Amino acid sequence: MSWIHTVQTGLLSLLGHRLRSVLTTLGILFGVAAVICTVGIGQASSQSVQARIASLGTNLLTVTPGSSVSGGVFGGAGSADTLTMADARGLASRDNAPDIAAVAPVVQTRGTIVDGTSNWSTTVTGSTPSWLQTNARTIGSGEFLSNQDVSSAAQKVVLGATTASDLGAALGDTVTIHGIAFQVVGVLQPVGGQGFANQDDLAVIPITTAQDELTGPGGVQRILLSATSVDTTGSAYLEAQQLLMQTHGIGGGTADFQITSQSQVLSTAQAVTQTLTILLASVAAISLLVGGIGVMNIMLVSVTERTAEIGLRKALGATPGDLFRQFVIEAAALTGLGGVLGVATGLLVGAVLPRLAGVAMDITLAPVVIALAVAVSVGLVFGVYPAVRAARLAPIEALRAQ
């Protein structure tokens, strides 16, 4: 039998069972659409996470204290109190660390800011003028804290854009934090939502003032370092490491601090989003597999139902190969159609969902092609067994069936 007639016969039989064909197709349709959508969402979120982290600057290094052990209780990373203002001053020395451009010691606490009748709870950061540079931020209006403010422990505050607008605070206003009066001297340029935390909702005060009034004297929670360029981040890391080992008097033992670079965070985040994408796509792929089993099921029903027809075709001269091809083509047509409709559905969801739900989707060619190819292969693979059953039916048994 020629291919044209084999295809014609297969399609005619599918048309003869329209509802059944459509329902079988749905399984494949949803599988393909799910694969395309989940991979699209995964890629979009991976890209946005990468963009966010990259915007922080890849030449940023963060020094955090090591873990504390008090009375046998392991306090966890960052819980120790080993970093000091002296460490920050040492790192800032151009002679000791030529590749470090800026050093910003940081203490942080939650605090409620009160401006007249309105109040706002936010993160209060105590730091130095270098904070702007290490965080890659700029001042929107007014001015940032000065070295003078730090050395005199001035009661001045710089607010994030969100904080300022929600509080209704203007430049020159006096606000209170934990009952202490601060003068608003500047508002930061907004940077937009940053996912994990809103980077525009914060308050920055001199680190000396914070230590005196809020967090207690001496300790530094973190030291932010910015290398002179992206290329010197590696040597800046080594310089900071060496210097701190020296000043903390650690020979070859375990360091009581940790230095992490932004690129480490970036690769970790990449790995996490990739894993999530693979996980989601696997679930979608399983639904595609289930759709394939549905195709096999319906093809088996079809073979059983058409036993008499198969017998007749054999009596009229159809070879086992003719019947095998006919049933495989029917299965492939079902999944191929489901695949094409699935791609259409996936693209439609990709166009509509971002507008309705604000979920970013980034649909690329590769998952579309792969999902379609997998759908058709699923049809071929799951169509083979029913087709073999049809081909192997003995003509006399099949003729007796009616």
Partner 1 sequence: MAEPAVEVGEVAASPESLIQLDRVRKVYGSGPAAVVALDSVSLDVPAGDFLAVMGPSGSGKSTLMHILGCLDSPTTGAYRFGGEDVSRLTESELAYVRNRRIGFVFQQFHLLPRLTAWRNVELPLLYREAGQRREAALHALDQVGLADRVEHRPTEMSGGQQQRVAIARALVTDPDLILADEPTGNLDSGSSYEILAMLRRLNQDGRTVVLITHDAEIARTANRVVRMLDGNVVGGHSPADALLLVPPPGHPPADGPEGGGTAGR
Distances (CA, A) of 69 to 74, 241, 245, 248, 256: 5, 22, 19, 17, 11
Helical residues (DSSP H) of 212-319, grouped into ranges: 233-247, 262-305, 307-315
Q: Which of 191, 223, 197, 186 shows the shortest CA–CA distance to 110?
A: 197
Q: How far apart are CA 349 and CA 119, in angstroms?
A: 42
Q: Which residues contact 74 (CB under 8 A, 6 or more apart)?
A: 67, 68
Stretch that binds partner 1, among 2-10, 54-62, 82-90, 92-100 (CB under 8 A): 2-10
What's the min distance (Å) between Cβ of 330 and partner 1? 14
C-beta of 279 vs 396, nearer to partner 1: 396
Position 11 contacts partner 1 (CB under 8 A) = no
Position 16 contacts partner 1 (CB under 8 A) = yes
Position 137 contacts partner 1 (CB under 8 A) = no
Position 70 contacts partner 1 (CB under 8 A) = no
Stretch that binds partner 1, among 9-17, 198-206, 360-368, 373-381 (CB under 8 A): 9-17
3-state secondary structure of 366: helix
What's the min distance (Å) between Cβ of 301 and partner 1? 17
Position 22 contacts partner 1 (CB under 8 A) = no
The first and second tokens of residue 289, run together, are 């597999």
Stretch that binds partner 1, among 24-32, 106-114, 337-345, 389-397 (CB under 8 A): 389-397
Residues 236/20, Cβ–Cβ less than 8 Å = no
Encoded one letter per residue, x for contact with partner 1 by CB under 8 A and - for no contact, window 312-351 reads: xxxxxxxxxxx-----------------------------
Distances (CA, A) of 293 to 20, 110, 380: 15, 56, 11
For the CA atoms of 337, 338, 343, 348, what is the dihedral angle to 10 degrees? 110
Stretch that binds partner 1, among 1-9, 59-67, 140-148, 221-229 (CB under 8 A): 1-9
Encoded one letter per residue, x for contact with partner 1 by CB under 8 A and - for no contact, window 263-302 reads: ----------------------------------------
Residues 273/45, Cβ–Cβ less than 8 Å = yes
Stretch that binds partner 1, among 84-92, 131-139, 280-288, 308-316 (CB under 8 A): 308-316
Write the DSSP assignment of 306-353 as a string of letters: THHHHHHHHHTT--HHHHHHHHHHHHHHHHHHHHHHHHHHHHHHHHHH
Position 18 contacts partner 1 (CB under 8 A) = no
* Among 170, 308, 348, 352, interactor with partner 1 by CB under 8 A: 308
Stretch that binds partner 1, among 66-74, 123-131, 155-163, 306-314 (CB under 8 A): 306-314
What's the min distance (Å) between Cβ of 390 and partner 1? 13
Q: How far apart are CA 33 and CA 137, in angstroms?
A: 41
Position 399 contacts partner 1 (CB under 8 A) = yes
- Binding footprint of partner 1 on the chain (CB under 8 A): 1-2, 5, 9, 12-13, 16, 308-309, 311-322, 394-396, 399, 402
